[in-house]
Amino acid sequence: MSGEAFVSLADLRRALARSLDEVERQRGPVVDFGADSYWTVGPWDAFRFDTEVPQPTVGQLTDDVQSMQNMLADDADPSTAVWHDLAHLIGILNRLAALNQDS
């Protein structure tokens, strides 16, 4: 493994399940985001410190949710652009984190 940080995917999966279970306990099985657009920095820029500060772009939660639903569709190809799927899930998770901070 390269780098100083690493993660067990099994641990990450359990931690996400635990966090989502708590969100569900607090907010119910469906969460109203109360927003759509948000600022984001692409995953390709988020960890680069050898260039200028990256310019944020705009993401949309409606697009993130649609992409998640497409990902879960029976005919979805699980090998298709994993970085893209993860970026959309990050948008959703960031909104859940922001809503929890506001609580």
Domain count, the chain: 1
The residue segments making up the domain with residue 77 are 33-102
57 assigned to some structural domain:
yes
61 assigned to some structural domain:
yes
pLDDT tens readout for residues 41-98: 988 888 888 888 888 999 999 999 999 999 898 777 777 788 889 999 999 999 999 9
- Give the C-alpha separation, 36 to 43, whole Å: 20
46 assigned to some structural domain:
yes
Instruction: Report pLDDT for 94.
Output: 96
Residues facing residue 59 across a β-bridge: 38
Q: Are 33 and 99 in contact (CB under 8 A)?
A: yes
Please check the confidence at residue 4 and state whether its pLDDT lies above 90: no
23 assigned to some structural domain:
no
Q: Residue 51: helix, strand or coil by DSSP?
A: coil
Label residue 2 by pLDDT band (50, 70, 90): low
